[in-house]
Amino acid sequence: MAQSNVASQDALDKLTHALESGTFIDVRRMLNGLSPADIAHLIESSPPRMRHIIWQMVEVEEEGEVLGELSDELQAQFLGRMDAAEVAALTEGMEHDDIADLLQQVPDRITFEVLNAMDHQDRARLERVIFYPDDTAGGLMNTDTITIRPPLTLDVVLRYLRRHTELPPMTDNLIVVNRADQFIGLLPLRTLVVSPPSATVRDTMITDVVPIPVDMPDDEVARLFERKDWVSAPVVDSHGKLLGRITIDDVVDVIREDADHSFMSMAGLDQEEDTFAPIMRAAPRRAIWLGINLVTAFIAAGVINLFQDTIEKVVALAVLMPIVASMGGIAGTQTLTVLVRGIAMGQVVRNNQAWLVNRELMIGVVNGVLWAGVVAVAASLWFDDWAIGIIIAAAMVI
């Protein structure tokens, strides 16, 4: 990972130098040697003016893949400059779940025009995905699956697979369905390869697999993949009918987005905030939470004002007050970080919330007593007054 980051930074530095010097031939040559994911990273790591220059130099056949790797905000920016024909052109060759994600960023008029430009089979597959909320299993799944029936022999299945020019990405299992397209089980490719050709699918398939309901939230899907080490998983409707499958690459995106959301929320920021967003767009987003923080700061100032006379008489209290505030703030941040992580991983549920609250309170008490003792001794020796030490220690514990 560290080597990848260094390589990306080196490529970005070279690209920036080439753009600034106007040697666009070098820019195009460098882009041709990068994967769509790396190009998307370079675009997101560049200021707005450079982003549009880089985008104009991306090969037409790679535009869809590059766009699929960008954040929702940047997708909306680039798609907003395209008409329906251009959007339809860049979706050619993309997986249906990725196309559905892109079409979420364009007006309904363009969406319907893109759908009408597709052939009947592709349009039918896309329509099975596009109308599901993007934060559910239905929004994550793609319809590019290979299905087989239980009575078939493995020899027939192998001949059937050889007729395909290539398998769908991330194919580790073949999905077994009945005549009504209801999910029955999975046939792992490794089992298919090592089993006798005369064996049937029914004899070799795995049946103790629970498919993913189409309306399952995406964070629950991500936790299932994490716990069970899946590469792909089938998705079914309420009647058990196979709708598609979810692959690990889409789940990784969900995990990353959840982590970004948790991290940014701790600072009151939007997870989609662009590092290079215009100042007048970014400032109002942050101003709301700064205003809330200002209100709480005034409340704290009001509490301190209640003890103004005491502080004027005992100046040492004003000197030591930042220590109490700092220790309390750090303790609160530690608790917040642990609980936000637990919530993101699905470990905080209704039946353990009270236990976790008590645990964090006890940790606070233990650390409060420990460091209150240290501060009491230090303050008493500093100001030669044990009363001040006891007061500050009591404030820290509380």
Digit-coded pLDDT (tens) for 210-242: 999 999 999 899 989 988 999 999 999 999 999
CATH numeric code, 147-247: 3.10.580.10
Could you write out the DSSP letters of every residue in 78-145?
HHTT--HHHHHHHTTT--HHHHHHHHTTS-HHHHHHHHHHS-HHHHHHHHHHHTS-TTBHHHH-B---
Residue 2: predicted pLDDT: 41
Angle between helices 353-383 and 315-344 (to 10 degrees): 160
CA–CA dist 384, 398 (Å, integer): 23
Q: Which amino acid is at 53?
A: I
Kindly report, residue by residue over 198-208, the tens digit of the pLDDT: 999 999 999 99
* Parts of the chain belonging to CATH 3.10.580.10: 147-247
Q: What are phi and psi of 148, to 5 degrees?
A: -135, 165
Name the pLDDT band for 263 (thresholds 50, 70, 90).
Answer: low
What architecture is domain 2-140? Alpha Horseshoe (1.25)
The pLDDT value recorded for residue 264 is 65
Residue 153 has pLDDT above 80, yes or no: yes
> Which of helix, strand or coil describes residue 322?
helix
Q: Give SS3 for 247.
A: strand
| Average pLDDT score, the chain | 83
pTM: 0.65
Digit-coded pLDDT (tens) for 68-103: 888 878 888 888 888 888 888 888 878 777 888 788
Delimit the CATH 1.25.60.10 region(s) of the chain. 2-140
